[in-house]
Structure 1
């Protein structure tokens, strides 16, 4: 590692301040707008006419995001632009994630990252060809992860489109009248304080969705989960054993409904309109159960499930692959950045 340079971050990069751009001042467009929390909307014109790295300055301190296109950066974040003579931009994006910037908060009221404090962080910088090789390894993993995520969106969209066609657009007037409770029965989730959670292989669901993976489960069959308290309207499908928290409702019994049919039926319902909380959004399962609906024929529901389950099983397999790739990337990242793991590269010839 004798060819690696030790230097201060401020010798390598410039953290530029973002500019104020309130949501009410943004105009319809396709230009991404970033805050300290990441992508936060769009606008019709850009502030930065290049790719860029965004670093949280106020609120969500030290989080690092990447924009491959011209973008806007609001005043809760810094942004960095390419300097190819100094660093490989993808390498810099990964390196910044290993510096612990999120731990450099210097404001007691609102979390804040001081620019000079960030500049004083020491970094180890390999030669440009090695930077490029390291970035190539990590970006190839991220590209595969992104591809699997996009494939899952496509597969789920196919299943949802078929659901809407068969059960909404082509619903028959002579279908039997019933209630949602004739399709499935919802139950409140289970409490589990964060202090008692141990990392494992089983998904833990909160009202806002997948929260963690732990070593225990309460529901041993595939089910559908939705927010009960704090955040309502989101619907999530678990194709394996899981632990729905007490801020959720989950389907404990399928009647006419099947797993995938019930998932898209809950998504179709306007669950936010059932909000029964004044200060904190909350969902009363009895209000959902009592909703009067037309019940589709069981044969049609089963036929739909048979078609859609192949798509959703592929989604499940993709999710497991995504988890494996993310673990590999997260394991490799600090080792590549410290030089503990090296990659082969060719020295670029100067013409």
Structure 2
């Protein structure tokens, strides 16, 4: 589809939507409002820049009737207006209610594809959040959101743009489900293993947490090697620091987070990487699940900059099952964990492509047809 940017016009959120509103919180003093409810109730903590498909709470019809909450239609775009989550987005995958901390935008179907509105808001998030005010916390108002204006193509072009970006997000969502399922199966195998009898030892008797190596972003040469920071994969490089597979543990920042590296990798200086030292138990996949079960993220030693104390971690007591049981667990869990890692790694690449296409498509600088050619090589 050919886009003619000159034909685009500036439209506000208020013009593009038939309803811009906020939700409400049914009274907590009436537990019946939350007991056996069937209406999903979305809070801003549920907004993760995608479809909202998981809910912590449900409310009843009576709760809706006796509060300012309202049932919003499928496709409603939500934006967090307050606090730490300000600017986070979500789109309802089914009718649901939301609390008063979310701005709910119901697109006018004659003027606006709600998916395009979602991406327009996402693309412009930094500007939107900069308009938030408040001394104690950042707040956006419904009025501010209504007045946001975007250069807007016609409805057909909106849908074409949303199709391209949505195809990437859909694949990322599929990968997430694959990874979650594989992780769950592998965790079940680990739980079964740890239900067996075993000896008590210390973590330091089984493995060593070795320090990663600095690799500034400006020094990285894009390549096949995953670069790990404390929060996971942060980029790529053309040379590995450690042979894979391997286990990476956050040292500073997201301290205590545990990551699986399915292939050769580069752990930077905010991380540790694992070197097994027990000849009887030389299973990195066992080390990965063991470390993940120890609550290392609660062991942070530095309140200003969260950090994992290496000596403290080495001194932690752990239970060591029989070596033959560990071997069987390794055979079962390794392919599952590799599958999850492959899906997650692909999602990182797809997200980078999406984030590169987003501003180009939303500005009209990139034609949809050209973007579709990019997708042909990755989907």
Q: TM-score range by the shorter chain?
A: 0.7 to 0.9
Q: Of residues 140, 144, 166 in structure 1, which corresponds to 2:171?
A: 144
Q: Is the 8 A contact 2:248 2:260 kept in 1?
A: yes
Q: Of residues 313, 320, 327 in structure 1, which corresponds to 2:338?
A: 313
Structure 2: distance between partners of 1:199 and 1:78: 42
Structure 2: distance between partners of 1:83 and 1:124: 16
Structure 2: distance between partners of 1:137 and 1:308: 35
Query: How many residue pairs align between the two structures?
Result: 336
* 1:89 matched to 2:103: no
Which structure carries more helix by proportion? 2
Q: Is the 8 A contact 1:91 1:135 kept in 2?
A: yes
Aligned to 2:112, the other structure's residue is in SS state: coil
Question: Which stretches in structure 2 are left out of the alignment for 5+ residues?
Answer: 49-53, 370-379
Question: Which stretches in structure 1 are left out of the alignment for 5+ residues?
Answer: 345-351
CA gap 1:300/1:219 in 2 versus in 1, 3 angstroms:
farther
Structure 2: distance between partners of 1:62 and 1:177: 48
* 1:9 matched to 2:13: yes
- Who is 2:373 aligned against? none
Aligned to 1:242, the other structure's residue is in SS state: strand
Q: Of residues 104, 109, 125 in structure 1, which corresponds to 2:130?
A: 104
Aligned to 1:225, the other structure's residue is in SS state: strand
- Who is 1:236 aligned against? 259
* 1:128 matched to 2:155: yes
Question: Shift of the alpha carbon at 1:134?
Answer: 2.4
- Who is 1:224 aligned against? 247
What per-residue deviation string (whole Å, max 9, x for no partner) do you get for residues 65-91 of structure 1? 222123343333312124212211122
Higher relative contact order (CA 8 A, sep 6+): 2
Q: TM-score when scaled to structure 1?
A: 0.77
What per-residue deviation string (whole Å, max 9, x for no partner) do you get for residues 226-255 of structure 1? 445676654222334133444x54424453
Structure 1: distance between partners of 2:203 and 2:367: 58
Structure 2: distance between partners of 1:278 and 1:138: 39
CA gap 1:184/1:314 in 2 versus in 1, 3 angstroms:
same
- Who is 1:44 aligned against? 58
- Who is 1:184 aligned against? 207
RMSD: 3.8
Aligned to 1:236, the other structure's residue is in SS state: strand
